[in-house]
Structure 1
């Protein structure tokens, strides 16, 4: 048994061991700037996302606390910042609505264990079964659902709603209760957020002298910094405004209210809790959370791996280590009252633009969050909920992916089906059911493709060798396409071929076309199937036993009774397909032969298990066919009556 090198194992689990060897002051300054910049985005977002998840604001800061510390030790992608996200906050609300924070902490704990198991067992490949159209439809629907859930905050309405449909019903039902101050503030915040997002991309050009160029560069850096820290700027300005218009009896704005100060005390995740007058045991909590214990961590894995791939920029990505790191972040976070977290594309983009160099940037971000919890939470009382709603809406707008529809229309129109199906189901049935429906549509399409495996069917007759068909299966052949392939190949046995040389004919099946090099003697088309109309007015079918010869006349044909199957590119057949092959060989062998050419050892073992004395040719097929032809002619001579 091969022993594991402890040093290699530690450096694999904790990548910080590798990159810390070259860590210097210049890299540290870059990470510090990136960490502070991300913190200015993370803190107001985390407060807003706690509200989205249905909890008090401090829980958003709890969820932002440990992720940076853990990911700095175990993460591989410098840009990723682990913390609350709009998508996981919405999913958390979906499964914990009407309960308390203990349920969310339990989801975080169990989700971390699920992610750890997936990473250790190297099950990261499973996320590849969720196609990009499904992910796009899911995230777009989630973005619209999240934005819709904040409409009541933008308008200052008070009602409870869980889904996209119920939210809009509540909006129309309570629209007369709209609060003008909250509405005006939220609109102003949205305008400022969008405007500040634009100014960070302003480029100052056309300056020639050195002093003016230096001044322009400083101004451009200040504009960029204000743009990436726009959430913090808007929240602070809104809180200052709310402080000055605050009245003891009549509140003109709905405020965040009291936030529990101080750091969360480390404690075991709750396995029993009380909601109102009802006490829940661990089993009852698991039953209530149901599929959320799997859906939430899986969505977190998909999002995290997708972000890491986006910022890998072609370099090798250790997806397994990313999943393990995310699992540890959630597992440890649960001991500090965190709800489920993962990487945020918005914050990762800010980190990348800030000049991040290593995952240590998350360490600095978490330190700022820690100081915020310890010192600044009393000052969050005056943050208006309308401002937090505006932050969430503006943060998720970019998640709606409209451009992908144009790309799919130009490349693969069939993939629009899972995209639209996932999107509609997520809005109508809910986020988690919509994702399951999208994966279901993907599975159906996958089975559809497997039911039509590519088969390049050729007919060869050079006048010397006996006429024969040749097919070149590629990859694996599975149960979904078994009957279709068998019926296609059986129909070849009944197809009549002209007595002239036919190497110029095109062989046509239901889905595949292969052309043999054209010979001037013949011109026409062979159709495999019944009653097919094939170009140039040639009607070819099995019912009349005639084949056009391309000159306007027809002659009675003869059948090619040899089928050559090239297996050099075939690596697997499942049991159902093997049984179908057995029936095919039985049918074909009544009047002909099936030859297996260049067969791999594994395929030979499979064929030997179901066929009686299969015919293999692993050398010169031409000589093999000539010998077969000679044997057939001798047999025909012996059978001729004197």
Structure 2
């Protein structure tokens, strides 16, 4: 690293061209360490930290393997795509990521988002979306454009997540009760479920309900604290905690063991199984840049047609992936340094770009698995690499045994994960939600639930922007009248900044208040709370000053900030006096 200089001497700066200075900043040690965080933590690895990372990586792997199979089915993909999508996130995030405990792999939110196009175009479109969203994420990160996400409010994301949770859960009712039907959309899925529920399969129903009870019981067990602090108590507590962490894998493989011994393909009283899963790993090859439209007679779509068909979706997938990752990074940051949003975005983008070469669908950070990683005592991002290696081994050697996994057990795992998602992303944030956020939340929720998740996030964002615009157009303005013997003094105090949508409202409000008085001798504009005044509103202020000054009233502006004073000087009002106090 000695070839990279920390900082150029000040005297040399004047002798260097613009591009030399830029290149110097790019290749300085500080920039290099920020863009490749592993250079900082890799030399600090010790045996103790490796043991902690091994335990954490295995713990996350036990959660990830069954979840990845389940999330692939949510996306409308063959189960093996879940394993393919769980490989590169660990490696790429270890290189580019800045949060020690982040687990990057498939999540239910992105899976349900891409489901409609997967059913229309097949698995190739999921891989294409992974590559395209990765490119968008990488560009946003490299050019520091993460601020664009500020236009999507937490209330909109909470509404989107809540709608997605209900949609995902509704799609799993079929597997949970062993039913068989086709459906599209939340309402249609519920209608189909209640139409066919009388056809439920007893074996699947019993197993699905039993799995849900087991999963929530194990989760509750993991939160119990045993009395005492003896060595035996500590060992038992750790064992119970580890069993709780691995509850998804335990549940799925126990059910698979039951199915192995009871499965009879000729009997209707047996379980619906996940079936054959392609063994091994896919070849490392470029992502598909064309696909077929299954609903249009297998018509081949070239790159630009495919990009046009999925254009909005790839943007939405990118934004959701980034928002999820940044929320997790901020929640699990160790507090020693601030979260570098651009670097986190780059890490997610790299995970999706490289992952698409192994047939991955879009991935991002997962809250539940990151929590497992953190609770397991993770020390470095090496734990993600260990998790990825575990997935590779599972894909290579264990897939023949996955044949016997009952669909009902995977449905229970999905529902359990969705409930956790709602708990962390909706219920807890809702305690801090303002009443003004309920409208965009509700709009996003109902639009996403009944008209599609993509439309939901658009409508919710537009509604929230309109609400904020209305607030700017109707600022709080206090007007007080003080009556003296020689006339009335009017005090006008805006409680926030004044911008052009509020110009007419401001003029009319002040004129209406003054018109009620018989004789106004002085009009005082107290601008103490105005830290922004655009030219249009300043001109409105000039018009008011000229009108009142022309009728004999004295117009005074007080408590004017320097930058506001500059604007007022620009309008050149001869009737307004500035008297800061």
Q: Same fold (TM over 0.5)?
A: yes
Counterpart pick for 1:91 among 104, 110, 113? 113
Compared CA separation, residues 588 and 618, structure 1 to 2 (3 A): closer
Q: Secondary structure at the match of 1:380?
A: helix
- For the 8 Å contact 1:494–1:559, the answer to whether it is kept is no
Counterpart pick for 2:544 among 579, 584, 603? 584
Deviation at 1:461, TM superposition (A): 7.6
Deviation at 1:313, TM superposition (A): 6.0
- For the 8 Å contact 1:421–1:438, the answer to whether it is kept is yes
Deviation at 1:127, TM superposition (A): 2.4
Counterpart pick for 2:277 among 230, 242, 259? 259
Counterpart pick for 1:223 among 232, 240, 255? 240
Instruction: Return the alpha-carbon distance in structure 2 between the equivalents of residues 418 and 298 of structure 1.
Output: 18
Compared CA separation, residues 614 and 110, structure 1 to 2 (3 A): farther
Compared CA separation, residues 147 and 319, structure 1 to 2 (3 A): same
What is the match of residue 564 of structure 1? 524
Instruction: Return the alpha-carbon distance in structure 2 between the equivalents of residues 314 and 470 of structure 1.
Output: 47
Matched, 1:606 2:572: no
What is the match of residue 526 of structure 1? none
Deviations 1:506-564 (A, max 9, x none): xxxxxxxxxxxxxxxxxxxxxxxxxxxxxxxxxxxxxxxxxxxxxxxxxxxx5333323
What is the match of residue 365 of structure 1? 387
- For the 8 Å contact 1:104–1:340, the answer to whether it is kept is yes
Instruction: Return the alpha-carbon distance in structure 1 between the equivalents of residues 474 and 223 of structure 2.
Output: 49
Counterpart pick for 1:319 among 341, 353, 363? 341
- For the 8 Å contact 2:89–2:351, the answer to whether it is kept is yes
Deviations 1:141-195 (A, max 9, x none): 2111111110001111222223211211111222233222111111111111111
What is the match of residue 125 of structure 1? 147
Deviation at 1:49, TM superposition (A): 0.4
What is the match of residue 20 of structure 1? 42
1:92-107 equivalences under 5 Å are 92-107=114-129
- For the 8 Å contact 2:368–2:421, the answer to whether it is kept is no
Compared CA separation, residues 420 and 273, structure 1 to 2 (3 A): closer
The answer for unaligned runs of 5 or more in structure 2 is 1-17
Counterpart pick for 1:271 among 264, 289, 295? 289
- For the 8 Å contact 1:608–1:614, the answer to whether it is kept is no
User: Is 19-28 or 222-231 further displaced after alignment?
Assistant: 19-28
Deviation at 1:46, TM superposition (A): 0.2
Matched, 1:7 2:29: yes
Deviations 1:477-529 (A, max 9, x none): 22332222212222343343xxxxxxxxxxxxxxxxxxxxxxxxxxxxxxxxx
Deviation at 1:428, TM superposition (A): 1.2
Q: Which has the higher contact order (CA 8 A, sep 6+)?
A: 2
Deviation at 1:92, TM superposition (A): 1.2
What is the match of residue 338 of structure 1? 360
Instruction: Return the alpha-carbon distance in structure 2 between the equivalents of residues 467 and 24 of structure 1.
Output: 78
What is the match of residue 12 of structure 2? none
Instruction: Return the alpha-carbon distance in structure 1 between the equivalents of residues 139 and 542 of structure 2.
Output: 42
Q: Secondary structure at the match of 1:400?
A: helix
Q: Secondary structure at the match of 1:564?
A: strand
Compared CA separation, residues 278 and 217, structure 1 to 2 (3 A): same
Q: Flag the structure with higher helix content.
A: 2
Q: Secondary structure at the match of 1:291?
A: helix
Deviation at 1:357, TM superposition (A): 1.8
Matched, 1:294 2:312: no
Counterpart pick for 1:382 among 369, 383, 404? 404
CA RMSD of aligned residues (A): 2.5
Deviation at 1:44, TM superposition (A): 0.4
What is the match of residue 135 of structure 2? 113
Q: Look at both structures and tell me which one has the larger radius of gyration over its CA atoms.
A: 1
- For the 8 Å contact 1:418–1:441, the answer to whether it is kept is yes
TM-score under structure 2 length normalisation: 0.89
Compared CA separation, residues 272 and 38, structure 1 to 2 (3 A): same
Deviations 1:44-75 (A, max 9, x none): 00000001100111100111000000101111
Instruction: Return the alpha-carbon distance in structure 1 between the equivalents of residues 364 and 498 of structure 2.
Output: 39
Matched, 1:235 2:252: yes
What is the match of residue 171 of structure 1? 193
What is the match of residue 246 of structure 1? 263
TM-score under structure 1 length normalisation: 0.81
Deviation at 1:273, TM superposition (A): 2.1
Deviation at 1:76, TM superposition (A): 1.3
User: Is 190-199 or 601-610 further displaced after alignment?
Assistant: 601-610
Counterpart pick for 1:36 among 46, 58, 61? 58
Instruction: Return the alpha-carbon distance in structure 1 between the equivalents of residues 381 and 478 of structure 2.
Output: 51
Compared CA separation, residues 224 and 405, structure 1 to 2 (3 A): closer
